[in-house]
Amino acid sequence: MEPRRFQLEGPSIDALKAQVLAEHGPRARIIAAEKVTVGGIGGFLARHHYEVTVQLPPRGRRRAPGEPDAHKDAGIAALLDRAEQAEARLQDPAGERSAAVSTASPAFAELMDTLTFSTETADVPADPVALISVPEPVQRVRSAPAPLSGAGDLVIVVGLGEDALEVCRSMSRAVGAGASGVRAAGLVTPDDVVMAGDRRAVAAARAAGVMGGYGIFLAYSLGRGATELGRHATLVAALSADQLWVVADAGRKPDDTAAWVGAVRAAANVDALAVEGLEATATPQTVNALGLSIGWLDGGPAPAPVLS
């Protein structure tokens, strides 16, 4: 029987070690580990977490007498030791280096930031060092979800100026709700859209959606200057969206966009990114640095989660 494998993610390696031991016992084996950096521009507002691949023995298999304990022999401590040895060999293939790099050194921290532990092979080598490679940094971006459109679903889109309103209108048209499904909140008050800036108004909008059989697309505008970001981000979180999007103008300065998007993400979970203004810039790919999957692009579904 083949061993069982699965992935876990968490805020630190120590937390993941404790979770694996508590949930799966000492025979669980961490065979791969990776530090994942999401978003940010030049390290600003970047978010980090760790991902590990766990291997369990086949169901029904018992450890033979004298067989080494998998957790003790190939746990995360052993994996890190072998990572040090791998780095030493990479820097000194002839074996002339006198000592391995300490795990407390800046060089080791840099190594752990860039190592990718591959688990694509069918059979796991006996020595986890064989799993280690040092490729170019890889950005993991999952496919973005489609906008929710069920009766009474609440989709909130946050952006500067009228960007969020334009996206909400295009989303509502795409799912057949039209103008009936659009609401507005924040610092833009359009004459032709019903405002829904508090829980009571949002509840009334949801009720209308349930009765009419359509979803609600709420455009929350941060205004032009994106001031009082913390207060607005808290208000957005309090409205309890079923799905939360942010919309970025590809022509705006990346640092400015990263600042307000980071404030929203600090207050609530953002599901996807909408992008407007592709034709106004020669470098729309700067929005990729936000680390969010692109699901809506200039008024319609995006063909890919990143811009190329």
User: Residue 139 has what pLDDT?
Assistant: 45
Query: Which ranges in 115-190 belong to alpha helices (H)?
Result: 163-174
Burial zone of 246 (CB within 10 Å; 0-12 exposed, 13-18 middle, 19+ buried): buried
Instruction: Parse the chain into domains and list their residue ranges.
Output: 4-133, 154-301
User: Residue 133 has what pLDDT?
Assistant: 33
> DSSP label at 301?
E
d(CA 194, CA 246): 20
d(CA 195, CA 253): 29
Question: What's the one-letter identity of residue 267?
Answer: A
User: Residue 127 has what pLDDT?
Assistant: 37
User: Residue 5 has what pLDDT?
Assistant: 84
d(CA 92, CA 89): 5
Cα dihedral 34/35/40/43 (nearest 10): -130
> DSSP label at 143?
P
User: Residue 64 has what pLDDT?
Assistant: 52
Q: Name the CATH superfamily for 154-301.
A: P-loop containing nucleotide triphosphate hydrolases (3.40.50.300)
Regions of the chain short of the pLDDT cut 50: 67-76, 79, 83, 87, 90-91, 93, 95-104, 107-139
Query: Which ranges in the chain belong to alpha helices (H)?
Result: 13-24, 70-74, 76-91, 106-114, 163-174, 199-212, 229-238, 254-267
User: Residue 117 has what pLDDT?
Assistant: 37
> What are 186-210's pLDDT values in tens digits?
998 899 999 999 999 999 999 999 9
User: Residue 82 has what pLDDT?
Assistant: 53
pTM above 0.75, yes or no: no
User: Residue 84 has what pLDDT?
Assistant: 52
The pair phi, psi for residue 165, each rounded to 5°, is: -65, -40
